[in-house]
Structure 1
Amino acid sequence: MELKKLKQTWSELRLENQIHRLALPVLAVSLLIAVSIIANKKPVVVVSPPEVFERLEVGYSHASESYKLAMGLTFAGMLGNVHAGIADFYLDTLNEIIHPTTFREVKSKLESEIQRIKNNDLSISFFPRSTAYWPDTNRVVIYGQRETQGRGDRGFREEITYEMEIEVQNYRPQITAFRTYEGRPERDVR
C-alpha cells in the first residue's frame, strides 16, 4: 500500500466533505427562498376572446393596456346603450364594477340619468369611434356618438367622450375614476 497516495486522497476527501458541509445549507436556504417566492407569486391570466386580436393579460393587481382598452369599451357600451327596461339592471351591474370610493359620486349621476330615461321613455345608443389609453394618467378614453331617442321621436346625436381609470383588484376590473363629457377627447385618440 502506498501511504503517500492514501494521505493525498484522504485529505482531498476531507476537503470535499467540508465543501459539502458549507454548500448544503446554502442550497437548502436558496431552495426555501425560491419556494416561498413562487408560492406567493400571483399568476397572470392571458385572455384571448375571439373578437379581440391582441393578447390581453390580467394579473392579481395589474392588467395590460389592451385589456384596459377592452374593458373600457365594454363599460362605455354598458353606459351608453340604455333604455327604460334595463336601466335598473345596469345600475346594479355597475355597482360591482365601479370601485366603492367612486361609486357614490357616479351613482347619484347615474340615478338621475336613469330617472330621466324612465320618465321620458328614452332609448340611448352609443356608437364608439375611437379608443385611447393615456399611460401618464392611466386613463382609458372612448370617444363616439350617442343617440338619444324618445318614443315616436326622431332623436338627436351628440359627440361624447367616456374617460375612465381602470384598476385591477383580485383579478377583477374596477373603475376607480370616471368622467363623461360632450365633444371630442381633450387629447388625440387613435
Structure 2
Amino acid sequence: MKVNQFKKSLTQTNGERKFLGGVVGILAVAVLILAYLLTADDSKVIIQPYTLSEEAWITQEKASVEYQESMALFFSELLGNVTPATVGFIKERIDPLLGANIRQKVVNTLADQAETIKTEQVVITFNPRSIIYEKPTGKVFVTGRSKTEGPSGAVREEQRTFEFEFQIANYLPRLTALDNYEGKAITQELIEQRAKLQKASEEREQS
C-alpha cells in the first residue's frame, strides 16, 4: 500500500471515530436528561443546546424555538454527513427519535441510501449556513452547502435544505415530518409568492 494512501485512510478513519464518538456523547447526555426529567414535575427546564449559543427551554409537551432549531441543526448534521462507515450507525440512532407517522418511510429511505453509499463508496458532507423557524407551520428549515465525493475524487456541490417538524412527548423530541431537497428553503412565504406570480402569469395569458 502506498504511504500517502495509507495516511489518507488513517485520517478518514480517525475522523469517523471522532464523529461517532460525538454523536454517542450527545445521545448519552440526552438520555440522562430525560431520565431526570421523567422523575420531576412537569416544569419548564432551561437547557443550553450544544448547537446554539442561546438558552432554550423544554417542558413535557412543548419546546422553545431555540430548542427546536437546535434539534433541527443536530438532525441536519447527522443526516447530511454520511460515509460508508457511519451510515448504518446513523440509521440505528435516528430510528428511536422518529414519530410513528414517518418511521417506516424514513427507515426505508435510509436503508436505500445506505446501500447506495456502501456500493458506490461515496462520502456526503453538509455545512449548514442558515436556520429558519416558521411560526405559522411550526417547520424548521436548515439550509447549507452539501458536497458528495466519489472514490474517483469527483465532487458535486449544491445548496440543500433539510425541513423538519417536531413534537415533544415526555420531554423527548419526536421528528414528525422530514424532507430534504436541493435549493433554498420552501417556506410558506415563498409558496405564497410563487402562487401570486403564477396567478399573475395566467391572468396575463388570458388578457
Q: How many Å separate the matches in 2 of 1:51 and 1:76?
A: 11
Q: Mark the CA change 1:88 to 1:46 in structure 2 (over 3 Å): closer, same or farther.
A: same
Q: How many Å separate the matches in 2 of 1:106 and 1:60?
A: 25
**Do the aligned residues in 1 keep the contact of 2:45 with 2:57 (CA within 8 Å)?**
yes
Alignment map for 1:74-153 (pairs within 5 Å)? 74-153=74-153
Q: What letter matches 1:70 in structure 2?
A: S
Q: How many Å separate the matches in 1 of 2:168 and 2:50?
A: 22
Q: CA deviation at 1:111?
A: 1.2
Q: How many Å separate the matches in 2 of 1:50 and 1:91?
A: 22
Q: How many Å separate the matches in 1 of 2:182 and 2:49?
A: 31
Across the aligned residues of Structure 1 and Structure 2, the Cα RMSD in angstroms comes to 1.8
Secondary structure of 1:66's counterpart equals helix
Secondary structure of 1:157's counterpart equals strand
Secondary structure of 1:82's counterpart equals coil
Q: How many Å separate the matches in 1 of 2:103 and 2:157?
A: 27
Alignment map for 1:1-190 (pairs within 5 Å)? 42-49=42-49, 52-187=52-187
Q: How many Å separate the matches in 1 of 2:50 and 2:141?
A: 23
Residue by residue over 1:137-168, the C-alpha shift from the partner in whole angstroms, topping out at 9 and shown as x without a partner, is 11010001110111232311011110010111
Q: How many Å separate the matches in 2 of 1:135 and 1:61?
A: 17
Residue by residue over 1:49-97, the C-alpha shift from the partner in whole angstroms, topping out at 9 and shown as x without a partner, is 5663212101101000000001000000000001000111100011011
Q: Once structures 1 and 2 are overlaid, which stretch shifts more, 98-107 or 44-53?
A: 44-53
> What is the aligned residue count?
150
Q: How many Å separate the matches in 1 of 2:160 and 2:184?
A: 7
Q: What letter matches 1:132 in structure 2?
A: I
Q: Mark the CA change 1:50 to 1:143 in structure 2 (over 3 Å): closer, same or farther.
A: closer
When the two structures are superposed, what TM-score results if normalisation uses the length of structure 1? 0.74
Q: Mark the CA change 1:51 to 1:102 in structure 2 (over 3 Å): closer, same or farther.
A: closer
Task: State the percentage of identical aligned residues.
Answer: 27
Q: Mark the CA change 1:112 to 1:51 in structure 2 (over 3 Å): closer, same or farther.
A: closer
**Do the aligned residues in 1 keep the contact of 2:44 with 2:57 (CA within 8 Å)?**
yes
| Structure 1 residue ranges, 4+ long, deviating more than 4 angstroms after superposition | none
Q: What letter matches 1:149 in structure 2?
A: E
